[in-house]
């Protein structure tokens, strides 16, 4: 083989190497561009998502007054369990007999510690969670046990009295199957609930 042929072959091989390197560079550059574009799109998406939530916050659930019971059907010391249309359990207790709405209190009966059922103990003048001996005062403030350690009171619900009837204000979210029913959810502990929602 002549020097000329040899040089020609080597030059061709150099050109092929350069061409190969050039396509690899193009590929890497393209991949970087796509990657950066994707990252930018993702960060813009996150930004607009947060901005949308800031500018158009989701509306709070509408509130409404729901009938609970005939007030005179509850004696001092009585309590009942009420379930909101969204299914949240509420303990309603009668703690006095002055004849106004302040005789009653409505507190979430779901323990803020791990969610066990809290109940009113009139003999001990307290709300009590048996799971870990969580104790709440008559106003729902945690005074002992894990809820007190974490300063977790029982959320309170507004009540009103009209013509001797007790009403509670609750979120009006309704379960998808419409399971919440006014008359099926009131259960006075130790008493029966009649057809009108009062206590028999
Ligand atoms: S769940 Fe009520 S004290 Fe733990």
For the Cβ of 145 lying below 6 angstroms from any atom of ligand 1, the answer is yes
- Choose one of 111, 121, 127, 144 to mutate for the ligand 1 pocket test, by most ligand atoms within 8 angstroms of C-beta: 111
Q: Compute the distance from residue 160 Cα to the ligand 1 centre, in Å.
A: 29
User: For 63-188, CATH number?
Assistant: 2.102.10.10
Question: How many alpha carbons fall within 13 Å on the CB side of residue 31?
Answer: 6
Ligand 1 and 112: CB distance under 6 A: no
d(CA 143, CA 198): 33
Q: Which residues of the chain have pLDDT under 50?
A: 1-2, 4-6, 32, 177-187, 190-200
CB 145 within 8 A of CB 132: yes
| pTM over cut 0.75 | no
Which pLDDT score is estimated for 32? Answer: 45
pLDDT of residue 28: 53
| Cβ of residue 36 lying under 6 Å from some atom of ligand 1 | no
pLDDT (0 to 100) of residue 14:
58
- Quick one: pLDDT at residue 174? 72
The pLDDT, as a whole number, for residue 61 is 77
- Alpha-carbon distance 65 to 100, whole Å? 17
* Nearest CA owner, ligand 1 atom 1: 114
116's tokens: 């066990």
Residue 113: Cβ within 10 Å count: 19
User: How many angstroms separate the alpha carbon of residue 149 from the centre of ligand 1?
Assistant: 11
């Amino acid at each position: 083989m002549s020097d000329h042929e040899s040089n020609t072959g080597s030059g061709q091989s150099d050109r092929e190497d350069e061409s190969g390197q050039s396509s690899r560079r193009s590929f890497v550059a393209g991949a970087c561009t796509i990657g950066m574009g994707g990252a930018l799109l993702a960060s813009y998406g996150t930004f607009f998502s947060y901005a949308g939530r800031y500018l158009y916050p989701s509306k709070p659930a509408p509130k409404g007054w729901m009938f609970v019971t005939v007030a005179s059907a509850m004696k001092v010391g009585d309590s009942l369990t009420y379930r909101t249309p969204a299914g949240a359990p509420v303990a309603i207790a009668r703690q006095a007999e002055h004849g106004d709405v302040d005789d009653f209190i409505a507190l979430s009966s779901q323990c803020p510690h791990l969610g066990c059922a809290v109940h009113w103990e009139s003999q001990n003048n307290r709300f009590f969670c048996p799971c870990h001996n969580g104790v709440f005062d008559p106003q729902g403030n945690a005074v002992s046990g894990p809820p007190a350690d974490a300063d977790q009171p029982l959320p309170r619900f507004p009540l009103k009295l009209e013509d001797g009837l007790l009403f509670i204000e609750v979120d009006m979210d309704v379960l998808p199957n419409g399971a919440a029913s006014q008359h099926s959810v009131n259960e006075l502990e130790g008493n029966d609930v009649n057809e009108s929602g009062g206590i028999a």
